[in-house]
Amino acid sequence: MEAFFLIKIGEILLKLGNRKEFETRLRNQLKKKLAGIRHTIEDYPGRYFLIVDEEDSDQAEEVLSHTPGINGYARAIKCKKKPEDILFAAEKLAEAAISSGKRRFKAETRRSDKSFPWNSYETCAAVGERICELHPECSVDLHDPEFIINVEIRERIYVFGETIPGTRGLPVGSGGMGLLLLSGGIDSPVAGYLMAKRGLNLSAVYFHAYPYTSEEARLKVVELAKVLAVYTGGIRLWTVPFTEVQMAIKAKAPENATTLMMRGAMMELSHCLARKLHANCLVTGESLGQVASQTAENLRFTQSRTTLAVMRPLIGTDKEDTVNLAKTIGTYRISILPYEDCCVLFSPKHPVLKAKLGEAISIYESLGLAPLLEKALAEAELLKIPYGNP
Ligand code: ATP
Ligand code: MG
């Protein structure tokens, strides 16, 4: 038996000239994620359908609920152009809703094929009558229904029940490629998720200060990248050895500027890596005022280390809201594992809060980091995390 899903797209519909491009991206994402199972994607104006074998329907739902660009989806039943077929499909969907305790319902019909013998009103009435006849415990409730039977009469007819919400946003890749600065913390994975939802394909970079940060800290970042890969359809994670750069900063920079200088070095390294990968922007989990390096003045300095746009989707978000989102997308339980990402050894007691741009740049330039940055980049290691990696 086949499982038939109706896919609803949202923001893509607002695209005028280049809508085809967005639709192709979405289709490609679905194909990539469904590569392991037999599937067909059909499209009609404003509507997509995914058809898979019934035994693969859970996997299909997993893909549909985690693919940016999809607003929602519903299990649907495809009908022949016969009134009786519609009623039979409505019965099946009603049975499923009734078995989960629902009783009040309504029918909704959209008809663009005017050659069908029933108009919208007649279709709704017939569906309502049939369900009430078979299930006297049910009643029609137009204002507060517990389930809705939707009938769409277009070039083909399909009947569907509840729409399950999707990720929304835009298809991954439609906004180009961003390089995510991914630490083991709570914020950066959420930032990556938000930007993937806005259509960025993501690569990620992690700065590893071994042995000051442990191997477990790196593995935690790998786990976080795997969660993001569920949305993006795979991700490339670069681990850049950062210890020598950090030691040089500690040795040469004024103590109160060490964190800021480290953030500057991370930004410069990310910039160089992004250029190599043809990424068009950087993504960070920074949030205004969260820590000393995230004041407007200090962000201005870190921004000065790159000419790429820096996407900071959490800049105006409260931590509590970020935590809630991290829980929803499944990164929180990984982020709170105890392995520290940043060593106290490198955190000054009184970090500079409002760096003067000129002064900060002079300090940074006096550190002579260029050869160390070049070496760190040359030693960067790539881990390809494919979609569906366990
Ligand atoms: P997070 O919870 O994301 O770790 P944070 O509150 O700890 O953020 P910072 O440590 O100042 O804040 O880092 C700000 C941003 O810099 C992070 O959100 C992340 O994008 C990037 N970043 C910090 N440390 C690293 C690292 N070791 N590797 C890669 N990116 C990092
Ligand atoms: Mg951090």
Q: Is the pLDDT of residue 141 over 50?
A: yes
Residues with CB under 6 A from ligand 1: 181-183, 185-188, 205-207, 266, 284-286, 290-291, 293, 341-342
The Cα–Cα gap between 311 and 72 comes to: 27
pLDDT at 47: 77
The CA distance from 252 to 265, in Å, is 14
pLDDT at 263 over 80: yes
Reduced to 3 states, what is the DSSP secondary structure of residue 78?
strand
Ligand nearest to the CA of 287: 1
Higher pLDDT, 382 or 345: 382
Interval 338-348: pLDDT, tens: 876 655 667 78
CA–CA separation, 94 and 148 (whole Å)? 9
- The three-state DSSP-derived secondary structure of 117-183 is CCCHHHHHHHHHHHHHHHCCCCEECCCCCCEEEEEEECCCEEEECCCEECCCCECCCCCCEEEEECC
Residue owning the nearest CA to atom 20 of ligand 1: 284
**Residue-level pLDDT at 109:** 96
Strands 70-79 and 2-9, by their bridges, are: antiparallel
Partners of 235 in beta bridges: 385
Q: What type of residue sits at position 284?
A: T
| pLDDT exceeds cutoff 60 at 72 | yes
The C-alpha atoms of residue 267 and residue 270 are separated, in whole angstroms, by 5
The residue ranking higher by pLDDT, 390 or 304, is 304
**Residue bearing the CA closest to ligand 1, atom 21:** 181
Mean pLDDT taken over the chain:
93
* Average of per-residue pLDDT across 376-381: 98
Summarised one tens digit per residue, pLDDT across range 293-303 is 899 999 999 99
Q: Is the confidence at residue 129, as pLDDT, over 50?
A: yes
Q: Which atom of ligand 1 lies nearest, measured to the CA of 293?
A: 11
What atom in ligand 1 is closest to the CA of residue 290? Answer: 6
What pLDDT was estimated at residue 167? 96
pLDDT (0 to 100) of residue 156: 84
Say which ligand is closest to the CA of 207: 1
Ligand nearest to the CA of 213: 1
Task: Quickly state the pLDDT bin for 267 (edges 50, 70, 90).
Answer: very high
Q: What pLDDT score was predicted for residue 289?
A: 87
With a cut of 50, say whether residue 145 has pLDDT above it.
Answer: yes
Closest ligand to C-alpha of residue 221 is 1
Of the listed ranges 76-80, 130-134, 239-243, the one predicted with least confidence: 76-80
Ligand 2 centre from 369 Cα, in Å? 22
Mean pLDDT of 133-143: 95
Q: Whose CA is nearest to atom 2 of ligand 1?
A: 185
In this prediction, residues 345-367 reach a mean pLDDT of 89
The pLDDT tens digits of the residues spanning 187-216 come to: 999 999 999 999 999 999 999 999 888 899
What is the per-residue pLDDT for 390?
A: 45
Q: Residue 155 pLDDT > 90, yes or no?
A: no
Among 8-22, 140-154, 247-261, name the one with the lowest average pLDDT: 8-22
CB 228 within 8 A of CB 196: yes
**Residue having the nearest C-alpha atom to atom 24 of ligand 1:** 183
- Spatial neighbors of 164 by CB under 8 A, at least 6 apart, are 61, 64, 65, 72, 73, 74
For tokens 């549909």, the residue is 64
Which residue's CA is minimally distant from atom 16 of ligand 1?
284
**Ligand 2 center to 128 CA (angstroms):** 56
DSSP readout, 246-306? HHHHHHHS-GGGHHHHHHHHHHHHHHHHHHHHT--EEE----TTSSGGGSHHHHHHHHTT-
Residues with CB under 5 A from ligand 2 (ion): 183, 185, 341
**Per-residue pLDDT reduced to its tens digit, 170-192:** 999 999 999 999 999 999 999 99
Dist. CA 297 → ligand 2 center (Å)? 19
- Segment 369-378 shows an average pLDDT of 98
How far is Cα 264 from Cα 306, in angstroms, rounded to an integer?
9
Distances (CA, A) of 350 to 11, 293, 294, 356: 46, 12, 14, 16
In whole angstroms, give the CA distance from residue 59 to residue 73. Answer: 14
Q: Tell me which amino acid residue 40 is.
A: T
CA distance 44 to 210: 53
**Alpha-carbon distance 36 to 32, whole Å?**
9
Length of the chain: 390
Give the type of residue at 221: V
Which pLDDT score, from 0 to 100, does residue 298 have? 94
Which residue owns the Cα nearest ligand 1 atom 7?
Answer: 185
